Structure 1
Amino acid sequence: MLAQRTNLFGSSRTAAARAAAKAAADAGKEIIDLTAGEIWSDLAPTIRDGAIDAINKGINRYTDTIGMMELREALARKISLDTGQIWKADEVAVTSGAKQALFNAAMVLLNPGDEVIIPAPYWTTFPAQVLIGGGSPVFVDTRKNGYVPRLADIKAATTDRTRAIVINTPNNPTGAVYDVETLVGIAELAINCNFWIIFDECYGDFVHGHRTHHPIVSVIPEVRARTIIVNAFSKSLALTGWRIGYLAGPKEVINAVKALQSHTTSNPNVIAQHAVLAHLQRGDGGYESKLRSQLTSARQIGLNVLSSLTRVPVPKAHGGFYFYLDLSDLLRPALVGGAPTTADEVVNSLLSKAGVAAVSGTAFGDPVGLRLSYGAPAEKLEPGLRRLVELLNSWE
């Protein structure tokens, strides 16, 4: 018999979508995979050289449980620059990716029965980890407001059991970037109602057009005492497989995270730590600029192709590197002729008929959404989207 908590969650549905694409490719079908939340790119030279230097020096021992002091100091300087506030190393914990940072936050903040507000659509891991931590997810629908939550809806979801809210901007899966007014309202509500803000800004380096990413502790400094910042290098340095992330927050939270992490993973990979430290010390921003340029170009190519959709609105894609399609009109019950009636059916049809892998919005709590990554290889993106447009437009 398994523990009862295993009934609270299943495998990540984004991971399942990637696995389905791989299975189809392994079966000999030509597949263009637009499922993965990663950027197709070479390593930053500073990352590569930092890792090789560490290996050549024979570095293979434990570090401090929550990361080398030199790395935490460098991260504190980075966060200080990002937020316009002074941060210190004892307010930072290095983790094995952002998922562990979020897991740590859930485990040290939540008691059984605590409620956590999560705007929907949401990254699939948010509610799963709340449930693992003994809490109850409370979802706030953002679909009618451009995927940005309305403060009135958040207030309506707040109760005396509300322990935290998860804010993810730029948002995965929708690409929405929260405006200052929304962030101010959330911060003031958290202060007045005495709950935590878990602020996931893993896509903060990628905003487009006239949008700007704003750390919530910058817009209302007083909220810092009840904010956990979660970030990683998986997206900003295209290091998904290296598993290096961090969280920043009040010292008592970091102390609790250190104790917890000492009983789970202990320190993050030491070679990856040295690689990121080398980049923070020697990087000149050139690699990050290259990634942003790559994504800017891919986004424009994708929007040009998607502008040919006839029954699906062209996505805004203000942040991150996803196109998030609203299939509401396409899936109307009145449609006939064998057209899909659910987002899951659309995904299955795309894979079987067009050879394009995508992620259904059901993975994100949205039955009419579809996520497409434009971090995919450039030579695959345009033909993949053209296949998608052709198939979706055929369901008239």
Structure 2
Amino acid sequence: MLAQRTNLFGSSGTAAARAAAKAAVDGGKEIIDFTAGEIWSDLAPAIRDGAIDAINSGINRYTDTIGITELREALARKISHDTSQIWKAEEVAVTSGAKQALFNAAMVLLNPGDEVIIPAPYWTTFPAQVLIAGGTPVFVDTRANGYVPRVIDIQAAVTDRTRAIVINTPNNPTGAVYDVPTLRGIADLAIDRNLWIIFDECYGDFVHGHHTHHPIASIIPEVRSRTLIVNGFSKSLALTGWRIGYLAGLQEVINAVKAFQSHTTSNPNVIAQHAVLAHLRRGDGSYESRLRSRLASARQIGLNVLSSLTRVPVPKAAGGFYFYLDLSRLLQSASGNDGPTTADDIVDSLLSKAGVAAVSGTTFGDPTGLRISYGIPPEKLRIGLSRIVEVLNAWE
């Protein structure tokens, strides 16, 4: 009955986890929900005022397919600052969230049978979109190297059919931040083998401790012509529901994206575009600073609670706003005593026994991982994490 491509993918694993949490709440249970990849926060004042001004001005019509010129110019200035290179508005497409930017990239770059290297654990949408575009995802396991891929492993995965490498730093779900030598090695490999780099830096505003986020084109300027930058405002401005992202790359690629997007969604939401433009023009950075400060505080609270884990290492949580737990040792010891055998089992137990919802690493290609978002309201954070520690420590 359905098209064959529908067999290539299922619903997003993170969306399914959120749905399970909601179903438990609807069933009368009190649930602390760690599943959502978003920060619970008020709007930035410039975003709110920009949206209201646009509405009061009667702005309600189509814009250019890939966004209003003023917004693309502002984004080009931002990217120029971030990468220390000059970018033009013609090299930027505004999209309905970063997810559409990634989908656009896959659809205009990939031919059937092309391979795309994706470090694992991975955000579940990466391989799904490659498959929809007719490509083949090729996974490189990063678990033995602190969730940062080894360049030698990526190199070993390259074949004559390899078309692109997906780089997501800071990483969702693991929170890993890629260091300069790793990024330099990947850039050199892409140049040498004529590969595209799809560089997803949606969590780039959130790095912790001594770690630093490095746009790959700022390290190796020559790789810019092989790089598509994917970013948005869902994370950095806590605007998940507003759906504004962007894609930056060669003008030839952006022209193809414009043509493709004209047949899918056309322009992104016009009010959201003007709201983000207002923030880029008027924002003084104080909102972002408060958001980072709040997350830093939540991260420290969470690490303090998780330090009580007995057979699960305390996560580094170098970037983003996730704690990613390595459950491999716990699962190995518990499985021999009729305990859990995969992260899915642990997620089910946490929901039923502790009233806590988290995302199984199976969603991200890792049956021994557990993703916990600490972007939730702070009053629930300590309680929920304490429940997780209690359940995990109870298994013999």
- Band the TM-score falls in, shorter-chain normalisation: over 0.9
Cα distance in 2 for residues equivalent to 1:55 and 1:323:
39
Give runs of aligned pairs for residues 168-317 of structure 1, distance below 5 A: 168-317=168-317
Give runs of aligned pairs for residues 1-396 of structure 1, distance below 5 A: 1-332=1-332, 335-396=335-396
Alpha-carbon displacement from aligned partner over 1:181-225 (angstroms, at most 9, x marks no partner): 000000000000001000000000000000000000000000000
Gaps of 5+ in 1: none
Alpha-carbon displacement from aligned partner over 1:243-281 (angstroms, at most 9, x marks no partner): 000000000000000000000000000000000000000
Paired residues of 1:72 and 1:89 also in contact (CA < 8 A)? yes
Cα distance in 2 for residues equivalent to 1:287 and 1:335:
46
Cα distance in 2 for residues equivalent to 1:140 and 1:111:
21
Cα distance in 1 for residues equivalent to 2:11 and 2:4:
15
How big is the shift at 1:334? Answer: 5.9
Paired residues of 2:334 and 2:395 also in contact (CA < 8 A)? no
Cα distance in 2 for residues equivalent to 1:259 and 1:381:
45
Cα distance in 1 for residues equivalent to 2:341 and 2:385:
21
Paired residues of 1:358 and 1:372 also in contact (CA < 8 A)? yes
**What is the one-letter code of the residue matched to 1:311?**
R
The number of residue pairs the alignment matches comes to 396
- C-alpha RMSD over aligned residues: 0.7
Distance verdict in 2 for CA 1:334–1:242, change over 3 Å: closer
Cα distance in 2 for residues equivalent to 1:56 and 1:320:
35
Paired residues of 1:323 and 1:371 also in contact (CA < 8 A)? yes
**What is the one-letter code of the residue matched to 1:383?**
I
Cα distance in 1 for residues equivalent to 2:217 and 2:241:
29
Return 247-256 or 329-338, whichever deviates more.
329-338
SS in 2 for 1:330: helix
Paired residues of 1:333 and 1:341 also in contact (CA < 8 A)? no
SS in 1 for 2:330: coil
**What is the one-letter code of the residue matched to 1:368?**
T
Paired residues of 1:325 and 1:370 also in contact (CA < 8 A)? yes
How big is the shift at 1:340? Answer: 1.1
Q: Sequence identity, in percent? A: 85
Paired residues of 2:317 and 2:324 also in contact (CA < 8 A)? yes
SS in 2 for 1:222: helix
**What is the one-letter code of the residue matched to 2:71?**
L
How big is the shift at 1:341? Answer: 1.3
**What is the one-letter code of the residue matched to 1:171?**
N
Distance verdict in 2 for CA 1:340–1:194, change over 3 Å: same
Alpha-carbon displacement from aligned partner over 1:338-358 (angstroms, at most 9, x marks no partner): 421110000000000000000
Paired residues of 2:334 and 2:341 also in contact (CA < 8 A)? no
SS in 2 for 1:25: helix
SS in 1 for 2:329: coil
SS in 1 for 2:328: coil
Alpha-carbon displacement from aligned partner over 1:63-100 (angstroms, at most 9, x marks no partner): 00000000000000010111111100000000000000
